[in-house]
Structure 1
């Protein structure tokens, strides 16, 4: 579902919308891991939802002038791709919570878990690809001679005619293995939410590559949506904003009670403490 959405929308929007998994991770974590969702978590989820709405609305409009990376210049197709990416995060979040519950409940090595995920993923992909090979598809998902969702018979001829296609395939396999291993390590020793927080760092690299290769145009409103998403993600993990709030509150309290230690001289010149105000309880 995510790769289908990627085919219909922008690469930067695809990566940013994956942050929506944090909302479902919080909900599933409260249900299956007995995690407590405070007001801070709900506020962060609301902030992330606002960022998602901003990005989706901008994508529908910018398709009119930014057509360099889309196969179909249709706002409805872009909106469909974005919705597919967001909807796929429900299953992604369920997988994250299952990984966390299983890895922390058993003593399975991370490398072994990564290997089994790769094996089952390969088998399931082959089964799904065989089924989609006979599934008729509407526009814009039928860009092949047989007008089906995924033409497996066309894979080998394309690779033979263009051997450079092996490079992205090999890079995808290696990067997926490294990504899954690093993600499972974070989940095993931390949490699924921290896994998504670290995963958000990839957005900077993807944006840099997209602009460098001129696949997308710079859009200020999209940058604003990205900032809103990052604010929600950071607030959810109590990474920066809560610490800033606590530091500011502590400074204000220190300034308020600083005069308690100030000694004033009495009429005899001896040091004393002013008693012309009611006692403060610290």
Structure 2
């Protein structure tokens, strides 16, 4: 079925804003600025960037309240659902989001932005495993084949990073550590999605409202942690600020103030994550969760092409092969590949519909 102009607009917005989110975060990491000690160095403040991400999610709640107000007499598809619930039920999801995003941004400072985006695709694997454990889901053969392709693609990407450390990287160990941290972050993000599926979707909470409340809790908690992290010593190789602590928010804000480009990149992260969440939720409602996951794969291609274009990394054909395996695995997992009619089973299609619910509420990032 052909997409309507509005649906095409939503799809384009999701790809563009999702790509901007990853690229703007990496761009900030690649910029240099004078810090609180007067020395010029690269911007390396993953927890401050995570706080900016939550600030963007908080904007979703503002948008939700504006939509509720403007359509109080007519209603709107974005506000359909149970608007009256205990917001603290979203606290665990926000904590998973906080931990997962923070680890991802630490990993991003150590590896390529394209690898960062590709390894985020591993979340499908962990969501499937956790869904079988906690949601009594059954993974059918087609989905298992898709997961195998995704794992092979991720393995190829990881091996390529280890074989060809170059460009803006800090060495082979840095790349491997960054890749492993991103995979670890996907395990935690998968916990967030499974929690939302098991405890949040049953309450029929409007997704935009859920994302907004998660942003409120995440930003509030991280604001407290930033004060604590200001005094906690960081382990070697992660003490990239003058105080040698886990996070130096004062140094980060000074660096942002001393380099307008870092400010632009930070604002890009905040604004893009808000629009990305809005467009992603709308794509799920207007089209399907499968379409959303395919568009996310296109976003990975855009990020990879831009990172090559700006010379953040060199081209290696092995990475192209890995990316192809990731796309193939995603398509197989979501039932987008043609199947022989004699092997098709209508019950499989019905069974597979429930497995894609993990994308209904999630944000990005």
Confirm or deny that 1:56 pairs with 2:153: no
Residues 121-153 of structure 1: per-residue CA shift (max 9 Å, x gap): 211322332232223224432222112222112
Which deviates further from its counterpart, 49-58 or 6-15? Answer: 49-58
**1:249-268 alignment runs, 5 A limit:** none
Aligned partners of 2:233 and 2:278: how far apart in 1?
Answer: 36
Q: Which of the numbers 303, 317, 327 marks the counterpart of 1:220?
A: 317
Aligned partners of 1:78 and 1:23: how far apart in 2?
Answer: 22
Secondary structure of 1:9's partner? Answer: coil
Structure 2 vs 1, CA of residues 102 and 176 (structure 1 numbering), >3 Å: closer, same or farther?
Answer: farther
Which deviates further from its counterpart, 196-205 or 11-20? Answer: 196-205
Measured after TM superposition, the shift of residue 208 of structure 1 is 2.2
Aligned partners of 1:153 and 1:198: how far apart in 2?
Answer: 37
Secondary structure of 2:340's partner? Answer: helix
**1:145-224 alignment runs, 5 A limit:** 145-185=242-282, 195-224=292-321
Aligned counterpart, 1:229: 326
Q: Which of the numbers 17, 23, 29 marks the counterpart of 2:125?
A: 23
- CA radius of gyration, larger in: 1
Secondary structure of 2:136's partner? Answer: coil
* RMSD (Å), alpha carbons: 2.5
Measured after TM superposition, the shift of residue 85 of structure 1 is 0.4
Aligned partners of 1:192 and 1:128: how far apart in 2?
Answer: 34
Is the 8 Å Cα contact of residues 58 and 221 (structure 1) preserved in structure 2?
Answer: yes
Aligned partners of 2:196 and 2:298: how far apart in 1?
Answer: 21
Instruction: Report the TM-score when normalising by structure 1.
Output: 0.77
Measured after TM superposition, the shift of residue 163 of structure 1 is 2.8
Aligned counterpart, 1:82: 179
Residues 159-214 of structure 1: per-residue CA shift (max 9 Å, x gap): 22223322111111111112223344556788866654432221121112212212
Measured after TM superposition, the shift of residue 220 of structure 1 is 0.5
Measured after TM superposition, the shift of residue 84 of structure 1 is 0.5
Aligned partners of 2:105 and 2:205: how far apart in 1?
Answer: 30
Aligned partners of 1:88 and 1:224: how far apart in 2?
Answer: 24
Could you tell me which runs of 5 or more consecutive residues in structure 2 were left unpaired when the two chains were aligned: 1-102, 345-365
**1:30-45 alignment runs, 5 A limit:** 30-45=132-147
Is the 8 Å Cα contact of residues 257 and 263 (structure 2) preserved in structure 1?
Answer: no
